[in-house]
């Protein structure tokens, strides 16, 4: 199965001191039977199901503001952390006839799986305002079915004060430079990496994306896995990824397989580790734990060629969709709320200043101060054209969780690198369409 390459630049028409872009975000869930379309008194209750735990409070505040302006509409928000738990919880909602009105979808392969649940949003006002390529993952047969939450990116976020303390003067952009920086940090009594490998998606999606993205032609490589002519085992980029994984384990915190996302971010945000493999989505958590912490991004390098290694991973992480079988009143309110999020002053302010999101639309101004230092570094890399796209959205359905299990087995010492790669090849062969 061939996949369409997205063509967009986060930097398209953006920032020098301020950047013209837009964002959207929200979450949703449902706690009651929505199929009958019954009126809930004089009010419409929009159920939102979302997986961004980082913005749960901010999203609640934004929906409260919308309700203040539209008293006939209230919201029921359920936040379930991303990955397998979120996917399973969403499927359970639909299976129990408690489908949310608004939920999120990653696009590409995931959009194909869920497309029969989506309301056509092609006629919505925000469509014409989206940056080129940001709607690609949710466009099927020429129709737009999802509104991009934002632009996101990741690499190794680093603590500038700890780098300075360890005497790391030049930011590492290659594998060897990263290894040297880790040695200096350890010698200074600082844990170099905060690693949270209890989370399968940290390994299998964000981590394993690197060797997919490093391929000369990622779509061609994925097509070769689908037709059986290509393999993960023995591929030089995947070999290099395991070398990077080994480096993080050698210089990371103890017990990585029992370190979850919140613990991983807390270790970094409290200054107990100098680097963390995460994205700009952790900015609100950092701000809450250690306000004004000086942080930035460096790449996750697989090679010693800076032209190849000095890049960050940037893409549209997820999209808001509306359930096409929701009651008409709920659908209309859901659409209006999503449009309000990216056009009203209140929505724009929340997206940038509170969510710290890099918007996916042209009409929102967001300064580097608004989106935080991590977002600002993503924009810098994007302006310089130094980005890779996210390939993990093109995995076969369910492959990510199995990839994560294979990598966790390797980290636990229960399997070799070769066995882990063999397991991933078997997973792809089993789950491919």
Burial class of residue 308 in the structure, from the number of CB atoms within 10 Å of its CB (0-12 exposed, 13-18 middle, 19+ buried): middle
pLDDT for 87: 85
What pLDDT, in 10s, does the model give residues 47-74? 999 998 889 999 999 999 999 999 999 9
Is 388 contained in some domain?
A: no
| Gap between the Cα atoms of 177 and 45, Å rounded | 53
Is 294 contained in some domain?
A: yes
Per-chain mean pLDDT for the chain: 89
The torsion angle over the Cα atoms of residues 339, 345, 351 and 355, rounded to 10 degrees, is -130
12, pLDDT greater than 60: no
Helix (H) or strand (E) holding 161: helix 160-165
Is 70 contained in some domain?
A: yes
Instruction: Kindly state whether residues 128 and 93 are assigned to the same domain.
Output: yes
The conformation of residue 118, written as its DSSP 8-state character, comes to B
What pLDDT, in 10s, does the model give residues 86-115? 889 999 999 999 999 999 999 988 999 999
Neighbours of 349 (CB within 10 A): 16
Is 264 contained in some domain?
A: yes
Instruction: Kindly state whether residues 171 and 302 are assigned to the same domain.
Output: yes
Tokens of 196: 């949270």
As for how many domains the chain has, the answer is 2
- pLDDT band with cut points at 50, 70 and 90 for residue 187: very high
Tokens of 258: 């029992």
**What is the average pLDDT across 375-398?**
89
What pTM does this model have? 0.75
**What is the average pLDDT across 406-429?**
98
| Boundary of a domain, candidates 327, 357, 372 | 372
Residue 178's nearest CA partner among 237, 236, 240, 239 is 240
- pLDDT band with cut points at 50, 70 and 90 for residue 21: very low
Instruction: Kindly state whether residues 278 and 141 are assigned to the same domain.
Output: no
| Gap between the Cα atoms of 197 and 239, Å rounded | 19
Query: How far are the Cα atoms of 98, 159, 194, 290, 332 from residue 272, in angstroms, in the given order?
Result: 42, 10, 8, 12, 47
Instruction: Kindly state whether residues 240 and 339 are assigned to the same domain.
Output: no
Query: How far are the Cα atoms of 174, 185, 203, 299 from residue 244, in angstroms, in the given order?
Result: 11, 17, 12, 12
Helix (H) or strand (E) holding 184: helix 175-187
Instruction: Kindly state whether residues 308 and 326 are assigned to the same domain.
Output: no
Instruction: Kindly state whether residues 131 and 39 are assigned to the same domain.
Output: yes
Instruction: Kindly state whether residues 57 and 90 are assigned to the same domain.
Output: yes
For residue 49, what are the β-bridge partners?
A: 78
What pLDDT, in 10s, does the model give residues 278-324? 999 999 899 999 999 999 999 999 999 999 999 999 889 899 999 99
Is 359 contained in some domain?
A: yes
What pLDDT, in 10s, does the model give residues 210-231? 999 999 999 999 999 999 999 9
DSSP 210-278: HHHHTSSSHHHHHHHHHHTS--STT-HHHHHHHHHHHHHHHTB-S-GGG--HHHHHHHHHTTSEEEEEE
What pLDDT, in 10s, does the model give residues 109-133? 899 999 999 999 999 999 999 887 7
| Boundary of a domain, candidates 357, 372, 387 | 372
Range in 12-26, 157-171, 320-334, 408-422 the model is least confident about: 12-26
Instruction: Kindly state whether residues 355 and 405 are assigned to the same domain.
Output: no
Is 8 contained in some domain?
A: no
Instruction: Kindly state whether residues 290 and 418 are assigned to the same domain.
Output: yes
Instruction: Kindly state whether residues 176 and 146 are assigned to the same domain.
Output: no
Instruction: Kindly state whether residues 196 and 118 are assigned to the same domain.
Output: no
Report the sign of the C-alpha dihedral through residues 165, 167, 169, 170, in that order. negative
13 φ/ψ sector (left φ>0, alpha ψ -120 to 50, else beta): left
Domain range for 210: 152-314+395-431
Is 378 contained in some domain?
A: no
269, pLDDT greater than 50: yes
Instruction: Kindly state whether residues 159 and 254 are assigned to the same domain.
Output: yes
Q: In terms of C-beta distances under 8 Å and separation of at least 24 residues, what long-range contacts does 332-335 make, across chains too? A: 333/44, 333/46, 333/70, 333/73, 333/101, 334/46, 334/101, 334/102, 335/119, 335/121, 335/124
15, pLDDT greater than 80: no
Query: Please, are residues 28 and 99 in contact by the beta-carbon 8 Å criterion?
Result: no
Q: CATH number of the domain that 126 lies in?
A: 3.40.190.10
Is 380 contained in some domain?
A: no
């Amino acid at each position: 199965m061939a996949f369409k390459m997205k063509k967009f630049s986060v930097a398209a028409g953006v920032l020098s001191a301020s950047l013209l872009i837009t964002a959207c975000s929200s979450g949703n869930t449902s706690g009651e039977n929505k199929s009958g379309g019954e009126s809930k008194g004089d009010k419409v209750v929009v159920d939102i199901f979302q997986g961004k735990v980082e913005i749960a409070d901010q999203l609640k505040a934004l929906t409260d503001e919308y309700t203040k302006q539209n008293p006939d509409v209230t919201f029921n928000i359920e936040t379930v952390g991303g990955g397998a738990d979120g996917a399973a919880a969403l499927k359970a909602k639909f299976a129990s006839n408690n489908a949310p009105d608004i939920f999120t979808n990653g696009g590409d392969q995931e959009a194909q799986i869920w497309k029969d649940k989506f309301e056509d949003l092609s006629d919505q006002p925000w469509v014409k305002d989206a940056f080129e390529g940001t709607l690609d993952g949710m466009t099927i047969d020429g129709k737009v079915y999802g509104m991009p939450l934002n632009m996101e990116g990741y690499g190794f976020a680093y603590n500038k004060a700890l780098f300075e303390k360890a005497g790391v003067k030049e930011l590492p952009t290659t594998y060897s430079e990263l290894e040297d920086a880790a040695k200096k940090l350890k010698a200074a009594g600082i844990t170099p990496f905060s690693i949270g490998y209890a989370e399968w998606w940290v390994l299998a999606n964000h981590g394993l994306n690197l060797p997919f993205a490093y391929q000369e032609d990622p779509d061609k490589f994925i097509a070769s896995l689908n037709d059986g002519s290509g393999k993960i085992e023995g591929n030089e980029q995947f070999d290099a990824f395991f070398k990077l994984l080994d480096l993080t384990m050698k210089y990371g915190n103890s017990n990585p397989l029992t370190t979850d996302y919140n613990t991983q971010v807390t270790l970094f945000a409290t200054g107990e580790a100098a680097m963390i493999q995460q994205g700009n989505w952790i900015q609100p958590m950092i701000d809450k734990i250690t306000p004004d912490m000086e942080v930035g991004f460096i790449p996750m390098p697989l090679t010693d060629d800076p032209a190849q290694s000095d890049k960050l991973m940037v893409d549209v992480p997820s999209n808001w969709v509306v359930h096409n079988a929701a009651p008409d009143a709920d659908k209309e309110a859901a659409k209006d709320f999503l449009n309000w999020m990216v056009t009203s002053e209140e929505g724009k302010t929340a997206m940038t200043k509170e969510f710290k999101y890099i918007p996916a639309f042209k009409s929102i101004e967001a300064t580097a101060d608004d989106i935080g230092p991590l977002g600002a570094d993503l924009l810098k890399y994007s302006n310089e054209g130094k980005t890779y796209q996210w390939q993990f959205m093109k995995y076969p359905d369910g492959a990510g969780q199995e990839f994560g299990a294979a990598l966790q087995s390797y980290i636990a010492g229960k399997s070799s690198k070769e066995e882990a790669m063999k397991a991933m090849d078997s997973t792809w062969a089993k789950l491919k369409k």
